[in-house]
Copies of this chain bind each other. A is one copy, B any other.
């Protein structure tokens, strides 16, 4: 069994450092008031001109521009107040260990007579607070609605109220364990696994469990359920960092599949203020455009929107080299795409018997 490194990924450490950050922010406000000045926030700018791709970190980051949001400026007073309230509410959620969602926060504001036009206005302020604290909203207990699942020989220890100290091995329920706030905030203890396999679809996830991919390949299997939810990406990062497990990703053989893998690897431009949602070492192992010909897979023609998406991604700095560039080119050349289930043409277990072991080998040289 491989033991986890302590990396501050569990909720206990996160919670304490988050509360400390909020406290500092509060003290700053008090100090400013005592000096007879107007309190303000300094918010890293998330405007397009301040988002740059960092090739060393292998993700988008924010540049050095920051904007002041001051209570002195009447045009900023509204959003200043919203942000101040949110910091207060985040502190409370974190202390009381209550989970919430973006939508909950929007409606909760009404209890405090804080005015948001609609949910998108409060969503924006939540991202502002993420940027101010440089911490993802899950750290202050705002969690995504979506749930994907995980399965494998991984021991965890919960930190959520009512379950503190309880341990769980995630290999006993073959349909998988939902990845929600409890799993996201659990301590990762140890594992016998040597690799994490993230797969795009529930049906294939079940196939993988059924064919004992976890045992045969010493793998933890993660169902991303299409585009991986933030909680799932956070778990993938923690499995990689705390347990030093390589992460490989299997998607449908199309431009959307390629981008699902890229988002797991390097996040998205609108989360450029965060570092917790990326696994820069994650490897996309298939289904590649080049696999379509190689394995003579049944295909579907690409739609106009698939083709447009390819051209869009070709302008993205992350698609300028290696397989990312090459596979986009091949998709555009063949104008066909293939689903993961296409391997069923060769029998239901062909994907786990032949394709997967080959691709796990290939991953080592990527």
Contact = CB atoms under 8 A, between A and B. Distances in A.
Interface string A59-101: 0000000000000000000000000000000000000001111
A183 interface: yes
Contact of A178 (B101, B173, B298, B343): B173
A206 B223 contact: no
Given A166-B172, A178-B176, A210-B99, A344 B108 contact: yes
Interface stretch (A128-136, A156-164, A322-330): A156-164
Interface residues of A, number: 56
B181 A345 contact: no
Contact of A345 (B110, B161, B339, B348): B110
Nearest to A160: B174
Interface stretch (A38-46, A143-151, A242-250): A143-151
Contacts of A356: none
A104 interface: yes
Interface in A184-235: 201-203, 206-207, 210, 212, 223, 225
Nearest to A98: B348
Contact of A158 (B174, B177, B341): B174
A344 B107 contact: yes
Given A166-B172, A202-B146, A344 B177 contact: no
A21 interface: no
A175 interface: yes
A342 B107 contact: yes
B202 A147 contact: yes
A346 interface: yes
Contact of A111 (B98, B99, B345): B345
A180 B202 contact: yes
Contact of A206 (B103, B108, B161, B180): B180
Contact of A175 (B177, B202, B207): B177
B143 A203 contact: yes
A214 to B, nearest CB: 10
A95 to B, nearest CB: 13
A110 B343 CA distance: 10
Contacts of A4: none
A174 B168 CA distance: 11
A182 interface: yes
A107 B343 CA distance: 7
Given A108-B348, A149-B147, A225-B147, A341 B206 contact: no
17 contacts: A99-B210, A100-B203, A107-B298, A107-B339, A143-B203, A149-B178, A158-B174, A161-B210, A162-B212, A173-B173, A173-B182, A173-B183, A174-B182, A175-B180, A176-B180, A178-B178, A180-B206
Given A145-B202, A158-B174, 9 more contacts: A99-B206, A99-B210, A104-B344, A104-B348, A107-B298, A107-B343, A149-B178, A175-B182, A181-B206
